[in-house]
């Protein structure tokens, strides 16, 4: 099977899964993802971290360990039929937010595609199915249980220092929003430390006499991140080295030509 045909099959599988996830009910999306991975030869551990829809699927052994994250949710009132306009499949039913059906499906497609060429790429594939993406903090329970740890884990710790741009803006008597910047520091397990500026927004809600933080979202400028900064640094060093080497070679060639003429 050629690489092109394999790529087309992976895309077709991902699109089919995305379509099926869009019309599936609460919990059905997780079961569909798990079944697709089992059919492709993955070993699946279902119901991890005491969440019925959370799972871990694994393929192969050794290094490197490639982690793939699949986010999915079941938000109330977001049921949607497979039409290009707003139409609930089940009135008042649950559905995906932020296109998580396509994110989960593309993750499965990537995992199956890697597994198909596993003989050429030694290592392990770990697929993490994380439910309750928008509400419920599904990832946090899995993090607490050590499911994001392992020989391929990159970070030792992450530090965030958020600062609000202004005071909380209240939308009504019981809710408000606040946003600002954050200086984040990433401590890698190999000892490297990188910094990155991010933006964040948060919503607060009043429950009784107390104000509680409901959601916090961080975002980053793709052109301002530790990996790109490192790549830029190496590129500059390579360019300077190449320029210096070119000058030295040029001087030597000119000297050699003059000697031959003389």
Averaged pLDDT of the chain: 81
| Residue spans per domain, the chain | 1-153, 154-224, 226-262
1-153 and 154-224: identical CATH topology: no
CATH of domain 1-153: 3.40.630.10
| Res 23: pLDDT | 41
Give whichever of 104-113, 132-141, 209-218, 230-239 has the largest mean pLDDT.
Answer: 104-113
| Res 18: pLDDT | 47
Q: Name the pLDDT band for 262 (thresholds 50, 70, 90).
A: low
pTM of the model: 0.63
Q: Beta strands 123-130 and 55-61: pairing type?
A: antiparallel
| Res 6: pLDDT | 52
Percentage above 90 pLDDT, the chain: 16
pLDDT tops 50 at residue 20: no
For 188-197, the pLDDT digits (tens) are 888 888 888 8
pLDDT tops 80 at residue 108: yes
Q: Name the pLDDT band for 236 (thresholds 50, 70, 90).
A: confident
User: Of 105-109, 124-128, 212-216, 217-221, where does mean pLDDT reach its minimum?
Assistant: 217-221
Q: Name the pLDDT band for 22 (thresholds 50, 70, 90).
A: very low
| Res 126: pLDDT | 92
pLDDT tops 70 at residue 243: yes
Query: What's the CATH fold of domain 154-224?
Result: Nuclear Transport Factor 2; Chain: A, (3.10.450)
Which two tokens mark 194? 């990188």
Residue 24 has phi, psi (to 5 degrees) of -80, 160
Q: Name the pLDDT band for 25 (thresholds 50, 70, 90).
A: very low
């Amino acid at each position: 099977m050629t690489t092109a045909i394999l790529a087309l099959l992976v895309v077709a599988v991902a699109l089919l899964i995305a379509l099926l996830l869009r019309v599936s009910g609460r919990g059905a999306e997780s079961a569909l993802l798990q079944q697709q991975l089992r059919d492709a030869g993955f070993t699946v551990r279902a119901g991890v971290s005491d969440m019925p829809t959370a799972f871990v699927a694994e393929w192969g052994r050794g290094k490197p360990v490639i982690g793939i994250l699949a986010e999915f949710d079941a938000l109330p009132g977001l049921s949607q039929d497979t039409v290009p306009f707003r139409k609930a499949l089940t009135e008042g039913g649950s559905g995906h937010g932020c296109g998580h059906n396509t994110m989960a499906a593309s993750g499965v497609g990537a995992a199956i595609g890697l597994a198909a060429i596993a003989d050429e790429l030694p290592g392990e594939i770990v697929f993490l199915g994380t439910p309750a993406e928008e509400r419920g903090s599904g990832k946090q329970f899995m993090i607490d249980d050590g499911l994001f740890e392992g020989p391929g884990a990159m970070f030792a710790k992450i530090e965030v220092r958020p600062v609000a741009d202004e005071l909380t803006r209240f939308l009504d008597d019981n809710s408000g929003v606040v946003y600002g910047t954050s200086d984040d520091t990433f401590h890698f397990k190999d000892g490297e430390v990188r910094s990155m500026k991010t933006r964040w927004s948060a919503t607060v809600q009043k429950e009784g006499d107390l104000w509680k933080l409901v959601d916090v979202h961080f975002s980053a400028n793709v052109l301002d991140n530790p990996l790109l900064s490192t790549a830029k640094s190496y590129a500059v060093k390579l360019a300077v080295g190449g320029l210096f080497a070119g000058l030295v070679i040029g001087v030597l060639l000119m000297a050699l030509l003059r000697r031959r003429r003389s």
